[in-house]
């Protein structure tokens, strides 16, 4: 159990480093909506958890669960982790478009 939390801490540290890099690299001044959507998608893919096994309560990143379920159990079982990942990406894109729209409105008022 101690390794479980240690590995999650290592994964989250690496994910936040990757997000920081993505945040700096993916900035397109002329296409802010594209920037917001790419950032939101990257964050959503990296930080969406899902149960690693149907019988256990342990969680893992949904992208890893989906990939490993697809490899070991078949593509039909990969849907188990794909659905929450798709919902997470959709919600993050809605939030990104809303933030972009609010920022655009604020800039037009000036």
Give CB contacts under 8 A, 24+ apart, made by 94-98.
Answer: 95/40, 96/33, 96/36, 96/37, 96/39, 96/40, 97/33, 97/36, 97/37
Stated pTM of the model: 0.84
Encode the chain (110 residues) as per-residue pLDDT tens digits.
678 889 999 999 999 999 999 999 988 888 889 999 999 999 999 999 999 888 888 899 999 999 999 999 888 888 988 999 999 999 999 999 999 999 888 777 76
Q: Where are the domains of the chain?
A: 2-109
């Amino acid at each position: 159990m101690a390794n479980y939390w240690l590995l999650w801490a290592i994964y989250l540290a690496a994910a936040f480093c990757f997000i920081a890099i993505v945040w700096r690299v993916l900035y397109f001044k002329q296409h802010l909506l594209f920037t917001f959507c790419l950032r939101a998608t990257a964050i959503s893919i990296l930080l969406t958890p899902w149960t690693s096994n149907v019988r256990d309560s342990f969680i893992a990143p949904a992208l890893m669960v989906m990939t490993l379920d697809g490899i070991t159990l078949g593509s039909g079982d990969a849907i188990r982790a794909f659905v929450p990942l798709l919902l997470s990406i959709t919600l993050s894109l809605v939030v990104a478009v809303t933030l972009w729209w609010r920022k655009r409105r604020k800039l037009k008022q000036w």
